Amino acid sequence: MGVLTRAKNRRLDLEERLADWISSLPDGVLGDIVSLLPTKDGARTQVLSSHSAGSSILASNISHILSAHPGPCHRFVMPRRYVEYPSRRTLDGWLRSPLLDNLQELDFNNSLLLPSVHRLSSTLCVARFGACRFADGNDASPLQLPLLKQLTLFAVEISESSLHALLAGCPVLESLLLLHNSGFRRLQIVSSSLRSVGVDSGGLCGIRLQQLDIDNAPCLERLLYFGRTEMNISVISAPRLAILGKLFDGFPRLQFGATVFQGATIVSMSVVVSSVKVLAIYDVNLCLDALINLLKCFPHLQKLYIEIKRVWGKDWCTYRKLDIGLRKIVLRNYRGNK
């Protein structure tokens, strides 16, 4: 066992030194290396991807890789930083490269969604659109993504009608993540395939998301809220919802039929939420009685994650003795200590 451990350590040390050496190479040399690798090996080379993510890149290197690589390519990540920002023609040329004919994963970062993205829509399974604007109006045709399972919109400007049209064009979508976006106030979820939805209340300026309605999501299992501002969430039909959070101190306003929460505080309780098994609450002032009342709304809860600003009541230390049916309670104070 000791011999095997030493051999493994030597191998890991050699890999780390090799990674450091490769990551110090100029971008042009890295581009030549990637162009000679099989696509799956190039995608797995973390030292190359981390180097590209952390430094500015020459657009000519990307063009060289796309023209020299034998293909096929299954994943294409557009850099976020360039030595000199590429022209619209260059960006369009990348997306029209024959190397991307059967592309499955796209990470698109540009100021405006290019029409050439549409040619990739029939094969994409995973897509992330960042820091770009979706054109609106009669001249803008929505993306039709029949195979897409994961969609992320990050710092995107998109109208409410365009967003709903985009989602309607994703009939097998399973995961939707919306962060720091603008241009829409309301999102209505009607999907027979979605299993996970994560949202925040949008960017710091412009029109922000204020209302999320889960009208009909029979397969939804995770509903995740990452915002720190007010938002209304209404869950009308999500019978398999098992993971819910984070509920903050005062927001979001969360409604399950006639049962209403204002953050982690119960406003009214008419029916219990029996499907939820994992609940996360964060940044709250909490007393033991309030916790017990909250747990009454989730009778089948198995795991509870709590991060608190302040605990009220001398009897809080007895929470571990409560017979509340939980398999696990994780309690952290405001500084992150258990």
**Pair of tokens at residue 210:** 């204020």
b or e along 113-149 (b: 16 or more beta carbons within 10 Å of the residue's beta carbon)? bbeebeebbebbbbbbbbebbbeeeeeeebbebeebb
pLDDT of 49 reads 42
Between 68 and 108, the higher pLDDT residue: 108
Residue 294 has pLDDT above 70, yes or no: yes
Please state, for a pLDDT cut of 90, what percent of the chain lies above it: 47
User: Among candidates 109, 106, 131, which has minimal Cα distance to 118?
Assistant: 106
Nearest to 113 by CA among 155, 173, 168, 74: 155
pLDDT tens-digit readout, 173-200: 999 999 999 999 999 999 999 999 999 9
Asked if 258 and 271 count as a contact pair (C-beta separation under 8 A), the reply is yes
Rounded Cα gap, residues 253 and 274, in angstroms: 19
Q: What is the largest CA-CA distance in the chain?
A: 69
pTM of the model: 0.79
Residue 150 is predicted with a pLDDT of 97
The least confident of 80-89, 116-125, 158-167, 210-219 is 80-89
- Kindly tell me the number of DSSP H helices and DSSP E strands found in the chain: 8, 17
